[in-house]
């Protein structure tokens, strides 16, 4: 119960400076995993370029609508509108 918490307080206090390092490492690994999955979705190099452009825009500009607008416009201009029914089935 409560006496156990009193015994763990010095341990938690001693490890407290490592919390920022652990949280930073978790954030970096999560970002890497997310980018790895996201770069597996586009099929062509142009689509990958649009994904990178949109991600960089979302990271640089403080308003998310700017990144979304750049992503939609880049998709329309570079990739073009595609019809999912026209694409060949995956083998």
Give residue-wise pLDDT tens across range 8-25. 888 888 989 999 999 999
Q: Return the residue matching tokens 């083998």.
A: 91
Write down the pTM of the prediction.
0.62
Picking from 50, 47, 70, 49, the residue whose alpha carbon sits closest to that of residue 58 is: 70
The whole-angstrom separation of Cα 27 and Cα 23 is 6
The whole-angstrom separation of Cα 25 and Cα 53 is 25
Q: Return the residue matching tokens 């308003």.
A: 63
Predicted pLDDT of residue 5: 81
The whole-angstrom separation of Cα 9 and Cα 15 is 10
């Amino acid at each position: 119960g409560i006496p156990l918490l009193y015994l763990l307080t010095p341990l938690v206090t001693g490890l407290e400076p490592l919390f920022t390092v652990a949280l930073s490492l978790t954030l970096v690994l999560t970002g890497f995993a997310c980018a790895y999955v996201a770069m597996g979705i586009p099929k062509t190099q142009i689509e990958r370029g649009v994904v990178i452009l949109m991600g960089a825009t979302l990271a640089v500009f403080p308003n998310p609508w700017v990144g979304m607008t750049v992503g939609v416009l880049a998709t329309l201009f570079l990739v073009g509108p595609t019809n999912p029914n026209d694409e060949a089935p995956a083998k």
